[in-house]
C-alpha cells in the first residue's frame, strides 16, 4: 500500500483527490492549514482507516515517511490569494522548497499543482506548454502567478540537480462541488448570484474567454500524471479545450438555474486575462486523457451542490 501525502488536501481539488486516492486503496495523509481548506470537505473521510488529517502549514518543514506527494497547497482564487499576497508567495515558494526537500529525503515522487496563470495574459491561443507566458511581475496577481512560476523553476532545478522524480501539471479553470461560494471565481460567483436572484457580475464586455473542466476529469488527469514513468516530468496542461465567452457562460447559468437575474457590467480587473484555453495534445498523448464531462452536465451537478 502506497502512503500518499496531499498538501492542501482539505481544499476544493485536494478533497476530491484524497477521496479518489483512498478509494483506490492508498493510505492518504491530508495536510492543510485551513486558510482556504474546509473540514467539511473531508469529514466523510475522517473515520476511514486509511485516511489521516494533519493541520500544518507547508511554509514550515514537514517530516513524514511517504511514497508520493501531491503539492496542492496554495490559495487559488483572486479573492483569497490577494487577501495576503506575501503569504501566497511564501506558500508557493517556501512550500515547494519544503515539499521538494521532503521528497528528496524519502525518495518520493512529487507532483506540483501548477496553474494556467503561469501563462499570464497570453499572446497565443490556445496555450501550449512551450509558451513562456506574458506575466506582469509586479501586478496584483503576481503573488500567485510568479509564485507558481518560481515553484516550477524549483521543481525542475531539483530534477536536474538532485535527480528527483517530479511531475508538473498546469491546471486550467476547474469547477464542481465543494467550490467555496465566496471565492470570487466565475463559476461559483455566477451560480450563487443566479440562485439568489442577484445581478450576474460581468467584468469588462464579457467577451473574454475561459475553458472549464469538471473536477472529476481534473482529478483523473492528476493521478494519470503521477502514474507516468520517471522520464515524463511535464509540464502538462490539464483542462478542457472547449472555449466559451464569459457572457455566454452567464446566460447558460441563468438558464440552468431558472433565475431571473440580470447581467451587471463592471470594469475589468487589472491583469485579468482576455483568453484562457489549453492545448491538451500532450495530455492526450502522454496520459491518454481527455475531459469526458460536458459543461451542461457538470454545471447541473455543481448547481445542485450550491442549491441546498
- For cell 492549514, the residue is 33
Choose among 237, 206, 218: nearest CA to 176.
Answer: 218
Catalytic residues: 144
d(CA 118, CA 133): 6
> What nine digits make up the cell of 144?
500567485
Q: Is the dihedral of CA 272, 275, 89, 67 positive or negative?
A: positive
Q: Which helix (H) or strand (E) is 113 found in, with range?
A: strand 109-115
Q: Please name the residues in contact with 304: beta carbons below 8 A apart, sequence gap of 6 or more.
A: 177
Give a three-class secondary structure readout of 47-88: CCCCEEEEECCCCCCCCCCCCEEEECCCCCCHHHHCCCHHHH
The strand ranges marked E within 172-255 are 174-175, 200-203, 209-211, 213-214, 236-238, 243-245
Strand 243-245 relative to strand 209-211, pairing: antiparallel
Amino acid at each position: 500500500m502506497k502512503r500518499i501525502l496531499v498538501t492542501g488536501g482539505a481544499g476544493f481539488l485536494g478533497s476530491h483527490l484524497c477521496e479518489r486516492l483512498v478509494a483506490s486503496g492508498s493510505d492518504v495523509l491530508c495536510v492543510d492549514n485551513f486558510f482556504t481548506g474546509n473540514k467539511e470537505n473531508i469529514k466523510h473521510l475522517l473515520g476511514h482507516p486509511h485516511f489521516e488529517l494533519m493541520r500544518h502549514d507547508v511554509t514550515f518543514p514537514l517530516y513524514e515517511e511517504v511514497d508520493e506527494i501531491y503539492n496542492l497547497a496554495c490559495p487559488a482564487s483572486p479573492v483569497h490569494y490577494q487577501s495576503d499576497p506575501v503569504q501566497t508567495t511564501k506558500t508557493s515558494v517556501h512550500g515547494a522548497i519544503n515539499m521538494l526537500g521532503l521528497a528528496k529525503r524519502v525518495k518520493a515522487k512529487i507532483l506540483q499543482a501548477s496553474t494556467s496563470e503561469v501563462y499570464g495574459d497570453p499572446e497565443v491561443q490556445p496555450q501550449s506548454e512551450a509558451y513562456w507566458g506574458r506575466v506582469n511581475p509586479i501586478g496584483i496577481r503576481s503573488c500567485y502567478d510568479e509564485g507558481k512560476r518560481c515553484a516550477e523553476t524549483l521543481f525542475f532545478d531539483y530534477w536536474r540537480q538532485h535527480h528527483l522524480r517530479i511531475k508538473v501539471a498546469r491546471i486550467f479553470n476547474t469547477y464542481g462541488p465543494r467550490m467555496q461560494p465566496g471565492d470570487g471565481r466565475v463559476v461559483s460567483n455566477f451560480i450563487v448570484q443566479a440562485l439568489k436572484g442577484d445581478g450576474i457580475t460581468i467584468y469588462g464586455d464579457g467577451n473574454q474567454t475561459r475553458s472549464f473542466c469538471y473536477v472529476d476529469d481534473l482529478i483523473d488527469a492528476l493521478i494519470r500524471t503521477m502514474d507516468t514513468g520517471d522520464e515524463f516530468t511535464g509540464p502538462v496542461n490539464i483542462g478542457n479545450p472547449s472555449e466559451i465567452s464569459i457572457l455566454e457562460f452567464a446566460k447558460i447559468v441563468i438558464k440552468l438555474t431558472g433565475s431571473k437575474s440580470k447581467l451587471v457590467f463592471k470594469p475589468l480587473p487589472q491583469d485579468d486575462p482576455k483568453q484562457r484555453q489549453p492545448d491538451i495534445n500532450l495530455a492526450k498523448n502522454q496520459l491518454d486523457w481527455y475531459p469526458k464531462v460536458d459543461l451542461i452536465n457538470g454545471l447541473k451537478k455543481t448547481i445542485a451542490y450550491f442549491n441546498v
